[in-house]
Amino acid sequence: MKFIYTSVVLALLVTTSLSAQTFYNHTIPSGWENTDGNYSLPGSTPFNTPNQSRWQWTYGRETLTHQFPILITEIAFRRSSDATTAAATYQGVQIILASSTNASHTSVSPTFANNLGADMVTVFNGDVQIPAYTAAGVSPAPFNVRVPLQVPFAFDPSAGLDLVIDVSTLGPTPAAGGGFPLDGVFPNGFLSQNGHITDPTSPSRNWFNENAGPIIELTYVFGSAAHFNVIATTTGGGTGDLFFQFANVPATTTRAYSLICGTPVSLFGLELGTGPVFGVWFDPLVAFVISQPAAAGNPFHWTWPVSSPTFPAAPLILPPGSLVGVAGQTWEVAGVGVDASGEVTGVTPVTQLVW
């Protein structure tokens, strides 16, 4: 009876929580949401080469729809054309987001560090998965290389500076390359790119194009405060490892659910994060999670606050071989915080695990 009651309460809270925390997807540069780009190598790197490289893209602030403070929680890339792609992993990918250091993306410095403003943040440090994909005859290709940020980034387009996205592939990289040339545009007056095609540690570029770069999808919420977030990553390919943690847990939270779903919403024609229960689908795995009693360190239903090494103050790390039984499955994960009175304190964006 308690399980049924909890399920009903969570379902009733969905509408309130999602309306209080709306996530927006926006393509930069704007205007290319439904149109293939026209840009080719070397602008298609870093995920189409065995080389380690560094790319720094500066997007004009004018190309963002919302001209007020936003909190970026995820970035996504799409392939230059709809084509069947094998799974691949780029290890040691570092992504930095920053405001620019000058008022124009057309006057960037050849020295990478000189283009990163004082608000620069390393928002992701880990492996990026190129998922296996079967051509579906669509144009443009889907944004299916998605990178949930481990640290959300606050950006204010109205402050007069541009957005810098800095990606380094520090390796190892796939021996044959990732087979994922990025969709990009040239010429375009709202972006530019610096790059070093073979050395991500070089302080300066060996490639520059003032009016070119990739088409990227941003996911964000309104506001500038650090946002409740879930970080869940695995190497994929049946390795069976896991890194699992929550960041920026709302201060009034006393317990929280890790909504782990084994049924991706794409099976029902929905976009990631738009499922009926806090962005995920209600399946037997979610039912199991919400039936668990709250306990310190319980990865399904955890109490807060706690101190390291208790989860989630410290991450849950499972070594390779721990979860080989789920190889080939796609899971989706979200967190829901609750206060002492049972009110929802926050909901994370949904992240995806491809085992």
Sequence-ordered list of residues with C-beta below 8 angstroms from that of 110, at least 6 positions apart, any chain: 194, 204, 205, 208
Contact 180, 82 (CB under 8 A): no
Domain positions in the chain are: 2-22+228-354, 31-221
Alpha-carbon 22 to chain mean position: 16
In 3D space, the residue among 333, 324, 327, 332 whose CA is nearest the CA of residue 355 turns out to be: 327
Residue 97 identity (one-letter amino acid): L
Q: What is the value of pTM for the model shown?
A: 0.63
**Element housing 247 (H / E):** strand 242-247
Q: pLDDT tens for residues 34-70?
A: 999 987 666 678 988 888 999 999 999 988 888 878 8
Half-sphere exposure of residue 349, counting CA atoms within 13 Å on the CB side?
30
Cβ neighbour number for residue 113 with a 10 Å cutoff: 12
Which pLDDT score, from 0 to 100, does residue 22 have?
67
Q: pLDDT tens for residues 75-127?
A: 999 988 888 988 888 999 999 999 999 867 778 999 999 999 999 999 999 99
Assign 326 to helix, strand or coil: helix
Which pLDDT score, from 0 to 100, does residue 15 have?
36
Which pLDDT score, from 0 to 100, does residue 216 have?
95
Which pLDDT score, from 0 to 100, does residue 43 have?
62
Q: Burial of 199 by CB count in 10 Å (0-12 exposed, 13-18 middle, 19+ buried)?
A: middle
C-alpha 295/C-alpha 333 separation (Å) is: 19
Which class does domain 2-22+228-354 fall in?
mainly beta
Taking 50 as the pLDDT cut, the residues of the chain under it are: 1-20
Which pLDDT score, from 0 to 100, does residue 13 have?
42
C-alpha 331/C-alpha 262 separation (Å) is: 5
Structure tokens at 34: 């439904």
Structure tokens at 257: 């659910």
Structure tokens at 224: 């500038």
How far is CA 183 from each of CA 43, 53, 174, 217, 244, rounded to the nearest angstrom? 9, 17, 20, 11, 31
Q: How far apart are the first and last CA of the chain?
A: 34
C-alpha 330/C-alpha 263 separation (Å) is: 7
Sequence-ordered list of residues with C-beta below 8 angstroms from that of 6, at least 6 positions apart, any chain: 290, 291
